[in-house]
Structure 1
Amino acid sequence: MKPHWLDEDEMRAWVAFLDTSNLLLRRIDQQLREDGGVSQPQYELLVRLAEAPGGRLRMTELAAALVASRSGLTYQVAQLEKAGLVRREACLDDERGVLAVLTDAGEQVLHQAAPGHVRVVREGLIDLLDRDQLVAVADALGQVRTHLRQAAPGAGGGDLRDAERPASQ
């Protein structure tokens, strides 16, 4: 089957998305390392736990929310556990389940890093767009996210399929 190549506008949109996401994520990661001593993926993990009831989530739920493989999530949780920012607990209603739990130190890192994080997000994206552009970007990316989450799980490496499999963590 012959590829359906991108036209000029499609290529411009694709390259702009790649460049923007890479540049912004690099700035965010740098700020988070300076202000909180954590990487961007670790910060996102801490935020997901902070937003969860009781500051705890099953590892499978956390992996699915972060779109991470089980091994990738296990590595990040282990690093955060060594730093005292997260701990693991057995799941009381499922002996095979493991919970990731935000510690007081993890919550403190979030409070320390959050002001700089929101500043970088605003300076690098939000404040550069007017309200109509912001709504259009949110709508467009929301549509893409919904499509990708509904598409066959695990496309591109099996990460989602593995992350959502409750039989083993």
Structure 2
Amino acid sequence: MTDRARRSLSTLIAAFVLALGFSGGVKAQQPQVTVEREAYTGPAIVVRDLPEPPRFASAADIEAALTVFDWVTPPSGDPPEIAAQIGITRGEAELVCQVSDEGTLSACSTVSENPGGVGFAAEAERAAGTARVGEMAYGRRVRFRLIFQPQVALQPQVSSSF
């Protein structure tokens, strides 16, 4: 057994003894815990042009938005470059957008983004700009989720997916 493993085991046993109150008539001492960190030795990760934080939708907008509507032209887009650079291959964002009288989407705000902070909401907003929805949504707000996956077309979800 290595010295490091022996120290870890004795620290664990001492903590267990203290937690259960077994001192056996001997005053138990608080174990000292030392955390050893290993230096990162992987490839350099350079992150440039971090995405702006998303604009989050209000509760009223989320509640009032249509969740059942038709796509005339579904959104199209790619996962954010930053996500790919750090090894994130799948993500999603849920948006609420205003629909024009021509069926185009604008004034989008974010309901959720997963994982957060790597640009899925911003990419979803850009993708929403390529979409058109059916007449029943003209002049209304709509709510939908976009799922980004590698090698798979962008997947918009509406209706019972919430």
TM-score band w.r.t. shorter chain: under 0.3
Q: TM-score, normalised on structure 2?
A: 0.19
Larger radius of gyration: 2
Q: Which has the higher helix share?
A: 1
Q: TM-score, normalised on structure 1?
A: 0.19
Q: Which has the higher strand share?
A: 2
